[in-house]
């Protein structure tokens, strides 16, 4: 799968996930609740990529810009052998 346009915002990312039929069961991009999986949230001036399991959240990466955060997540999803689509 290739991108037809550059994704710049978390909203763009959410639309891309929906349009490509990827499951939100393992990803929380715009505050959707997940029991276990990966998520992105804005924390102060930074964007935080995390993994959550059984209510415990572990930060995996921080990004200064929304564009950096979105591109990171897109690459992870495209390379996730367990993604559902």
Write out the chain's pLDDT in tens, 85 residues: 445 468 889 999 988 888 888 877 888 887 778 889 999 999 999 999 999 998 899 999 999 999 999 999 998 888 876 655 5
∠ CA(30), CA(17), CA(55), 5° rounding? 45
Q: Phi first, then psi: what are they for 76, rounded to 5°?
A: -65, -45
Only one residue has tokens 């993604």, namely: 83
Which pair of tokens denotes residue 70? 């979105």
The predicted model scores a pTM of: 0.80
Query: What is the distance between the alpha carbons of residues 1 and 55, in angstroms, rounded to a whole number?
Result: 32
Residues 55, 43 contacting (CB under 8 angstroms):
no
Only one residue has tokens 């572990």, namely: 58
């Amino acid at each position: 799968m290739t991108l037809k346009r550059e994704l710049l915002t978390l909203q763009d990312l959410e639309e891309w996930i929906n349009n490509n039929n990827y499951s939100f069961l393992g990803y929380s991009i715009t505050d959707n609740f997940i029991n276990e999986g990966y998520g992105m949230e804005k924390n102060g001036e930074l964007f935080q990529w995390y993994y959550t399991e059984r209510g415990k959240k572990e930060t995996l990466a921080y990004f200064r810009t929304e564009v950096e955060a979105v591109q990171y997540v897109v690459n992870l999803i495209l390379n996730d052998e367990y993604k559902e689509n």
